[in-house]
Chains A and B, each alone.
Chain A
């Protein structure tokens, strides 16, 4: 963003990479895939880079509204200084926070999750999927809580899978009834409380039972949890973000 600003320009959209997208190895792959798509669709986008900081979501869900608002107000200051109008992010937690919790703090933007953005690009034919490498393959989709129930986004990710010409097989619990991966509410950063089972193992068993060869994810935390779950349940189902699936199908 700083480079655009130095030239006196502002890009069409700010890609809010998020902490996972910046640092987590699996999520970095998603970041790269999404950027490949943005480039191939000739989208002018910027990132905050070193000026980006955590939205504050895990702090807020862990009970620290003070730290959350420190992060939020700092980020809003930065984004407002660059005149950001539209934000896209690959993380449903960043998406939820910026969309729902920033406006009352002075951060008003059009906020899109990358699955919504990608669906638009596909509909406008700004990216084309050819060859149909997923044609006839069975793909299941895991609804992230902060995209689905929290914000009612159920269809955009499924539209993308349809465009891949793959067969969507739904898990027993999906959409409004989808089972959490176990990472939300700051659980990602702690051991779970004692119980009979890990939540991600329970979810992975449902993934395995769906008969799909790929489970599409749309959240960096779900991605990690489902991947761990697949290992724990000795499953060969691949866990991939929808952006990665598009990159594969379009051979970018």
Chain B
């Protein structure tokens, strides 16, 4: 009885805290301009299926793709066991679904095999990240918390799998020893290997190991659920909505601002309906002027750095790193949600992202092409450039000359439009 109450409290605390954090994320995303009306639903579901469920872009590197798939499937499949853990915890039963017989044995065996595969994958990931000098894991923005965050995620996953297997091993040993509270149930191809060691332990010790692992396992899962908000690991949830909402247009297409269209049409004497807007501003100086999709992207980003590794500016030593653009955007949005606009002048532009970074972009779309879940760091760069040029008129002077040339001569160079046909000579 006491155990059931304790369990209920733990569950309520874990889920309650998670709901609180989820609301913060939703509020942060809604700092941006609203998502457009959802069109082309079929294509969107397909894009989600392809990128998020199918992880299509992860398989470009086969080894990493397969390992990532194992961890992802393991995460989903092993968590089916949560159902039983929750029922057991709430009503004080033990392995309540054991009546399912062969199906139950098959399920437990599957969970065990996946747990082992996850352990293997996570160890390989840890080695890739810490022992191999893969450049994208060692960029300047990956110092401090981002680096330890990545390792903590791997460690927590390892510990959770370890607890799951330990719990099963102790349970199975008790079953074999004929302990009355542990009737035969389940099939244990992996944890069964530990039985020879556990066999020498007393019944009390084994029950203690089993109980402690059981509680730590469920506690660990609830901890991890709430750790997500503070970590880069939110992609396990947000990759799904992000790939649904992500652009379906050709990557080269930049949207046209309707207010500008209306103004220009009036200037050119073309028929137009004036667009009424309360506050007209162009581009983004802060997260409020970015779109909800761009902010959702920032929270979905798992800082893998494929974008940065493919960025021509970054590869040639410029300050720009597309991953940092996403991290900065998230940091700023989180700051606003957690602490409010404490220091008025600390906008995303300048305080987080410098102009030098923004102007180094060649808009080549390599970062967008690379992102496994369809995030576009480039779109944020272009939004911020638009602010600098249209609101401040402070773009680099060479670009100002280029734009003056277009205005005066209809070409980015100071040539006379009368000479447009000179190539014929």
Contact = CB atoms under 8 A, between A and B. Distances in A.
Interface in A38-86: 47, 49-50, 52-54, 56, 58-74, 77
Contacts of A105: 256, 261
Given A66-B390, A185-B361, A190 B399 contact: yes
Interface of A: 17, 19, 21-24, 28, 31-32, 47, 49-50, 52-54, 56, 58-74, 77, 96, 99-101, 104-105, 145-146, 149-152, 176-177, 179-180, 182-199, 202
Interface of B: 249-257, 260-261, 263-265, 267-268, 270, 282-283, 310, 312-313, 315-320, 356, 359-366, 368-369, 382, 385-390, 395-396, 398-399, 401-403, 406-407, 410-413, 415, 417-423
A65 B386 contact: yes
A197 B316 contact: yes
B85 to A, nearest CB: 44
A186 B253 CA distance: 15
B264 A69 contact: yes
A71 B256 contact: no
B402 A22 contact: no
A103 B186 CA distance: 62
Contact of A58 (B386, B387, B396, B402): B402
Contacts of A183: 362
B252 A100 contact: yes
Contact of B317 (A50, A62, A177, A197): A197
Contacts of A72: 256
Given A74-B268, A189-B398, A196-B316, A63 B389 contact: yes
A71 B410 contact: yes
11 contacts: A19-B415, A22-B423, A50-B421, A52-B417, A62-B385, A62-B389, A150-B253, A151-B252, A180-B364, A193-B359, A199-B362
A182 B312 CA distance: 7
Given A62-B385, A65-B257, A182-B312, A151 B250 contact: yes
Nearest to A188: B412
A225 to B, nearest CB: 10
A194 to B, nearest CB: 7
A171 B185 CA distance: 58
Most buried by B among A64, A145, A195, A202: A64
B310 A177 contact: yes
Given A73-B265, A73-B268, A189-B412, A60 B423 contact: no
Contacts, number: 213
Given A19-B410, A63-B387, 17 more contacts: A17-B420, A19-B412, A19-B413, A19-B415, A23-B420, A54-B410, A62-B395, A64-B389, A64-B403, A66-B282, A100-B249, A145-B365, A149-B251, A150-B253, A182-B312, A199-B313, A199-B315
Q: Which 7 pairs of residues, A with B, have the shortest CB-CB distance?
A: A150-B252, A196-B317, A63-B389, A185-B363, A53-B410, A195-B317, A180-B364
Contacts of A63: 283, 382, 385-390, 395
Nearest to B404: A67
B249 A22 contact: no
Contacts of B386: 63-65
Contact of B312 (A50, A101, A180, A196): A180
A32 B263 contact: no
Contacts of B282: 65-66
B399 A202 contact: no
Nearest to A145: B364
Contacts of B403: 58-59, 62, 64, 67
Nearest to B400: A62
B160 to A, nearest CB: 36
Given A71-B410, A176-B369, A193-B359, A60 B312 contact: no
A145 B421 contact: no
Contacts of A54: 406, 410-412
Given A53-B411, A193-B359, A149 B369 contact: yes
A28 B420 contact: no
B365 A150 contact: yes
Nearest to A64: B389
B260 A32 contact: no
Contact of A21 (B268, B316, B413, B423): B423
A154 to B, nearest CB: 12
B256 A193 contact: no
A149 B316 contact: no
Contacts of A24: 413
Given A22-B420, A77-B268, A196-B317, A202 B312 contact: yes
A59 B406 contact: yes
Nearest to A182: B362
A99 B313 CA distance: 27
B313 A195 contact: yes
Given A66-B264, A150-B252, A202 B316 contact: yes
Contact of A193 (B319, B364, B411, B413): B319
Contact of B398 (A22, A191, A199): A191
A101 B256 contact: yes
A190 B359 CA distance: 10
A132 to B, nearest CB: 29
A193 B318 contact: yes
Contacts of B265: 73
Contacts of A176: 369
Nearest to B253: A100
